[in-house]
Amino acid sequence: EQGLHLEERPADTPGDVVPAAQALVTARVGAIYIPNDNTAAQAFDGIVQTATRAGIPVISADPDDIGRGVLLAVGVGFYHSGLA
């Protein structure tokens, strides 16, 4: 209804993540979302660098990523959920 289309690029290992991000850039996506995922977390900086060079905003599932190059974050941060 909102005109959004999801493009997925799987990454089984941290070494697959940056090529997946590059594939999203090639597909001309409007934004890249980083979920709370260990594989993506290990390559976080590479995702942000790839997206930033292409002028694509990055959205994270972890609010603790604010200040690390993401436009916004939606979700519960691990720090705060650990305190709870």
More reliable by pLDDT, 71 or 78:
71
| pLDDT tens digits, one per residue of 25-45 | 999 999 999 998 999 999 999
Would you give the distance in Å from CA 1 to the centre of its chain?
23
Mention every residue, 6+ apart, whose C-beta is less than 8 A from residue 39.
11, 12, 13, 14, 16, 17
Q: What is the pTM for the complete model shown? A: 0.86
- Nearest CA to 72 out of 25, 24, 34, 30 is that of 34
DSSP 34: E
Q: Is 9 exposed, middle or buried (0-12, 13-18, 19+ CB in 10 A)?
A: middle
